[in-house]
Amino acid sequence: MSYPQSRPRRLRRTPLLRRSMRETRLAPEDMILPLFVADGVTNPVPISTLPGHFHHSPQSALTECEEVISLGIPMVLLFGLPAAKDERGTGAWATDGAVQLATKAIKARFGDDLLVATDLCLCEYTSHGHCGILAGESVDNDATLEAYAQVAVSQVEAGADIVAPSGMMDGQVGIIREALDDTGHQETVILAYAAKMASAFYGPFREAVDSTPAFGDRRAYQMDGANLEEALRETWLDIDEGADMVMVKPAGPYLDVIAAVAAESPVPVAAYQVSGEFAMLKAAVEKGWLDHDAAVLESLVGIRRAGAKLVISYLAKEAARILGGPRGS
C-alpha cells in the first residue's frame, strides 16, 4: 500500500494516539544516578563541571538517596574521592573510605528500597590518575587485578549490591567473581564496564574527581572508539568471566555499539550517558539553544531505543521529574 491509501500521519494525529503508538518507553526504573561521595566533607560541595551534582558526605548522600527513592529511581552508582591519593591507590579499599562508609549508611537506612552499585577502579585514588598500579610508565595488568579484588571485597563487605569494574584490565571480571565467591558473596551482581571507550567525553568527570592522568592517556587500556568488533569481543569475554550485566560507555556517540551488543547479549545491557554528554546538553540549554526537558528525554529515549535496559545518567533525577514519578511515560 502506498499513498494515498497509506497515510502514516493518521497514527500521529492526537497526543493520546501518539502515546499509544510509542515503541520505546522511559521510566524512572530504567535509570541509575551516579553519586559522588568524598572524604572529609560535611556540607555537600557543588561540582563545578557537573551542575546540580555534589561531593557528598555519607550523611548528605542519605538525603540525596531519599529523593532518588521518592522519584522511583532504583539504583545509585557511587564514586569516591579520597582525602589523600597515593601511588597504588590504597584508599580504594579502605574500610573507612567514603564509598565504604556511604554504602554502609545507605544500606542501613534504606535496605532493599535502594540498590547500591559501586564503581570499581583506582583512578580516583592514585596520585598519577591512572586506573591501575604502574610498572614504569604503563599500567601493570595483573598487579592491578589483585588490587581490584581487594576493592571488590571491601565494597561488598560494606554492603554494595552491585560492583561495577571500570578499569578495563584484562581478566578483571573473572578475578572479582572469584574473590567475591571465595569470601561468601555469591549473590553480588557484577555490572561490567565491558565496552568502555577512550573518550573525550569524560572531561567533566575527571575534573570532578581529579583523575586526569598525570602523564600519557588511557588508550593502552580503554578501547579505541572506532572499533565495533572489538567492543563485541570485549563484551563476550566479560560475559564468559561471569558478568551479570554489561555496559557500553559513553552512550550517545556509541548507539550502534549498544544496539549490536543488545542484539546478541545473553545478559542485560546498560549504557552510561557520561559527564561530557551531560555537559553538552546543559551548556546548550544555558545558552538558550535547546529546550531542556525535551532534550533530556530525547537523549535518554534514544539510548533505550538502541537497546539499553538501564541508563546511567546525571540527568536521572531531572528525567524522573519530567516523567512525573514512578509510573513513567
Site for ligand PBG, rule CB under 6 A: 119, 121, 123, 131, 166-167, 202, 205-206, 274-275
3 vs 215 by CB, closer to ligand PBG:
215
11 vs 200 by CB, closer to ligand PBG:
200
State in angstroms the smallest separation of the CB of 17 from ligand PBG.
37
Residue holding cell 503508538? 21
Which one of 249, 282, 287, 317 is the catalytic residue? 249
| 107 is an active site residue | no
State in angstroms the smallest separation of the CB of 224 from ligand PBG.
14
Nearest to 222 by CA among 150, 165, 303, 177: 165
Q: What is the rounded radius of gyration, in angstroms, for the C-alpha atoms of the chain?
A: 20
295 SS3 class: helix
51 vs 328 by CB, closer to ligand PBG:
51
- Beta strands 31-38 and 310-313 are parallel
119 vs 238 by CB, closer to ligand PBG:
119
137 vs 181 by CB, closer to ligand PBG:
137
State in angstroms the smallest separation of the CB of 258 from ligand PBG.
16
Distance CA 249, CA 252 (A): 9
Give yes or no for a contact between 169 and 221, defined as CB atoms under 8 angstroms apart: yes
State in angstroms the smallest separation of the CB of 275 from ligand PBG.
3
State in angstroms the smallest separation of the CB of 168 from ligand PBG.
8
Which one of 107, 196, 282, 317 is the catalytic residue? 196
Q: How far apart are the first and last CA of the chain?
A: 32
| 196 is an active site residue | yes
How many helices and strands in the chain, by DSSP H and E?
11, 12
Instruction: Give 137-202 as a 3 state SS string.
Output: CEECHHHHHHHHHHHHHHHHHCCCCEEEECCCCCCHHHHHHHHHHHCCCCCCEEEEEEEEECCHHH
Cα–chain center distance at 191: 9
**Enzyme catalytic residues:** 196, 249
